[in-house]
Amino acid sequence: AARRGGREMAAWARAVRGLLLDVSGVLYDSGGDGGVPIAGSVEAVRRIKASGLKLRFCTNETQATREQFVKKLQGMGFDISVAEVTAPAPAACRILKERSLRPHLLVHNDLVPEFAEIDKTNPNCVVIGDAAENFTYANLNEAFRVLIGMEKPVLISLGRGRYYKETDGLKLDVGAYMKALEYACDIQAEVVGKPAKMFFESALAEMGIPPQQ
């Protein structure tokens, strides 16, 4: 039985054409001076690429643009390019354009450039990300007022994580603040990012690989 299981596993592995990799907490621990790579992760990425498998880095990073994020990882020794990263902000921008939505942004200052081409006048939705120090009462209340003033409030959240680990300890993630706005406005947010199915489907489409491979 063990031998048969081994053969089945080998056959499954041969059918695999690509991998989706998480980043924070898998390849590196964030915090401090940008974070530190987890032991063996740089070599693991190198070996995956050398094997010929397609690779996509899936992140809920919303405290930096993809360019800033990639530069940080390259500085840690990772072989990674912007074209290999699937992140929530670009996906949110596609949704905003498709639905003619004009966002009020409650995001980290370093993420704002990702929305440079989006019309933000007279907002008709709110986009919330991991805003870190920008999660003040005043900023949350402003987002609440935008939403509560709409006939049909639209809240788009760049992920729904509860918390994450940095080198100096655990930090509240966007999900905690998303839930506060959901409760206050009696609405349900549209989540763009992990673990939303659409996020992973987008990554697979960018790779050109079906889910079973």
Whether 88-191 and 2-87+196-207 are alike in CATH topology: the answer is yes
Beta bridge partners of 22: 58
What pLDDT digit, counting tens, does each position of 126-152 carry?
Answer: 999 999 999 999 999 999 999 999 999
How confident is the model at residue 207, as a pLDDT? 87
- Helices (H) then strands (E): counts for the chain: 7, 11
Q: What is the CATH number of domain 88-191?
A: 3.40.50.1000
On the 0-12 / 13-18 / 19+ scale of CB atoms within 10 A, 128 is: buried
Predicted confidence at residue 18, as pLDDT, reads 92
Low-confidence ranges of the chain (pLDDT < 50): none
pLDDT given for residue 7 in this prediction: 63
pLDDT score, position 199: 86
End-to-end CA distance of the chain: 25
pLDDT at 11: 61
What's the confidence (pLDDT) of residue 2?
56
Query: For the chain, what are the domain ranges?
Result: 2-87+196-207, 88-191
Q: Where are the beta strands (DSSP E) in 53-98?
A: 54-58, 85-86
pLDDT at site 148? 98
Q: Are 63 and 130 in contact (CB under 8 A)?
A: yes
**Could you tell me if 80 and 57 are in contact, meaning their C-beta atoms sit under 8 angstroms apart?**
yes
Average pLDDT score, the chain: 90
Q: What is the pLDDT of residue 213?
A: 84
Note the pLDDT of residue 131: 95
Q: CB-based burial of residue 143 (10 Å sphere; 0-12 exposed, 13-18 middle, 19+ buried)?
A: buried
The CATH number of 2-87+196-207 is: 3.40.50.1000
What values do phi and psi take at 97, rounded to 5? -70, -45
Res 13: pLDDT: 64
pLDDT of residue 30: 77
| 157-192: burial string, b at 16+ Cβ within 10 Å, e else | bbbbbeebeeeeeeeebbbebbeebbeebebebebb
